[in-house]
Amino acid sequence: MKIKILYELFKKYYIIVLISIISFLISFLIYFNFNQSKIDKSLIVLPFLNLQNNFKSNYFSDGITEDLIAKLSTIQELNVISREVSLQYEDTKKPFEEIGRKHELSNILTGEIIEKKDSIFIKCEFKNIYLDKINWKKEFFGLKNDIPQIQSKLIKQIVGSLNVKLNLSERKIINASHFKNFDSYNYYLKGNFEFNKRTFENYDISINYYNKALQLDPFNSKIYSLISNSYAEMYNLNKHEIYKDLAISASERAIKINSKYPGGYLSRANILTILGHLNEAYRFNIKASEINSLVGGNENNALIAQWRGDLSEALNWYKKIPKKDVHHEGKALVELSNIYYLLGKKEKAIDLMDFGLKNQPNSFYYNRFFVIHESFVKNKDNAKKYIYRLQRLRPNDSRVNSITGLYYLWFRDYNKSLSYFQKVKYPWFEDKIAIAFILRQKWGKKWSDTILKEVLDECKKRIEDGDEMSLTRYYISMVFSIQEDIEKAFLWLEKSVDEGFLWIDYLEIDPRFDILRNDKRFNSILQKINLKLKEENNEIDFF
């Protein structure tokens, strides 16, 4: 009887019960997915601690950290703080909460490394800073030849705890190993360690290590691309043709060995950009981005478009960059700020740079931006504060001596300006022209003519060889202005604007153009630039 009553009730209300169950399941799934989407997937990998306390092996722990950051950065769902920011916390005693607040992130990975003869031990902790919760602690142990597999396991542990789903290309990158054995990988790490010191001598040392890696692994496209980058930087510093040829040759080899590796195309684009061959560099950057949009090709093309004076195209390229760690990527953020600055959105540019400086107070690029900005608005004392900061942080850096020389040049203190330009180890056109200008002011033409002729010949040769840079024409105009050849100065200044030079602020502050300012053609050029900037503003949908 009871069973019959229950059966009758079930027949009467089963639809209501079924609807209630389905509603509950839908609500649960919505709640679950909402909470999954709320998981903050931002993280910083702090430099792994070398427990051997051996400075000579720091390259190894730094290299492991850098490789982890590079691989994690290829995962689109993650927001990984850049290597530049991470390395400023080497041996830090700052509380994790302070680091999290400063960089607006939730997760932090710390690690310790012990390297033995044939084996490696890595102990890691992955923590959610805001919840004050350790997501996991794990130890990884294996032979040195197993490092790629250990890195892969570590990355999968991170993405698993953050509920990240990897696509096929991301899985391939994480599982890939570019090296046949530990010895070649070890030489690669040593090469990177030297490259990141960014001096001519260290670039040369980096190539020696990369070549040792190639002896063990002769068909490694990654190593060839890094050799190309080292030679390109050496050429950029001293302009010896042999370094240019070696950079091109190494990049060609990288592409030939593995046409699916984006680094080969990027290294080729790098040397072409240094040479001013912008159209060709543009195409190689596109090839790199087609393989992997996270490797920097879009960012490089944004810079090329800016140099051409096509600011709307530059911003479009920035829109194509996956919205990852855009606020922490040094030079990229400066270039984006420069675009806003040119377009008259100076408050937006300064806000971006303030944000960058907050995250990387030691950054050369951010501090340099404020030296230039404060000089443009003729705030000498404020500009000097950033100069002093750079000098304190980087006392032997030629780039600091160069911007300090410019600062004193702009404010007409020629003695101090000359003293800093003379400390620049590998002077670029800007530095040489400044030295010649000051010598001319102090001691007359004969002291400057040799330097100016050298710069003029080099710039014209670059143009003959295919240089498309507006800056090259700008420097030629500056040379003729110093030599008081007014007609040629205006001719080349017009050419520089036609090729994309848009920096009115530089033209208005630099004493090397003083002789042109009373000529009505100078105002006509400023009006031409303003018209171009207005047209660019009209084309842009700001983001």
Dist CA 357 CA 368 (whole Å): 11
Task: For 503, list phi and psi in degrees, rounded to 5.
Answer: -85, 85
Domain final position from 129, 148, 175 = 175
Exposed/middle/buried for residue 382 (C-beta within 10 Å: 0-12, 13-18, 19+): middle
At 391 the pLDDT is 94
Nearest of 509, 508, 500 to residue 533 by alpha carbon: 500
Q: Residue 290: which H helix or E strand, with range?
A: helix 278-291
Dist CA 43 CA 303 (whole Å): 27
CATH number for the domain spanning 147: value is 3.40.50.11830
Residues 468 and 383 in one domain: no
pTM, two decimals, is 0.84
Residues whose CB falls within 8 Å of the CB of residue 413, separated by 6 or more in sequence, listed in order: none
The lowest-confidence range among 10-24, 120-134, 298-312, 460-474 is 10-24
Q: What is the arithmetic mean of pLDDT over 38-52?
A: 81
Count CA within 13 A, CB hemisphere, residue 354.
6
Residues 303 and 352 in one domain: no
Residues 419 and 436 in one domain: no
Residues 343/346/347/352 CA torsion (nearest 10 deg): 90
Dist CA 154 CA 152 (whole Å): 5
Give the chain's length: 543
DSSP letters, 143-193, are EGGGHHHHHHHHHHHHHHHTTPPP-HHHHHHHH----SSHHHHHHHHHHHH
CATH number for the domain spanning 383: value is 1.25.40.10
Residue 454 lies in a domain: yes
Q: Residue 142: which H helix or E strand, with range?
A: strand 133-143
Residues 65/70/74/77 CA torsion (nearest 10 deg): 40
Domain that holds residue 522: 429-539
Dist CA 509 CA 375 (whole Å): 8
The domain total for the chain is: 5
Dist CA 200 CA 471 (whole Å): 23
Residue 111 has pLDDT above 60, yes or no: yes
Residue 483 lies in a domain: yes
Task: For 111, list phi and psi in degrees, rounded to 5.
Answer: -155, 160
Residues 305 and 201 in one domain: yes
pLDDT, tens only, 226-284: 999 999 999 999 889 999 999 999 999 999 999 999 999 999 999 999 999 999 999 99
Residue 337 lies in a domain: no
pLDDT, tens only, 400-420: 999 999 999 999 999 999 999
Residues 57 and 18 in one domain: no
Alpha helix locations (H) across 363-413? 364-376, 380-393, 398-410
Domain final position from 137, 158, 175 = 175
Question: Which residue type occupies 194?
Answer: E
pLDDT, tens only, 333-352: 888 899 999 999 999 999 99
Residues 59 and 27 in one domain: no
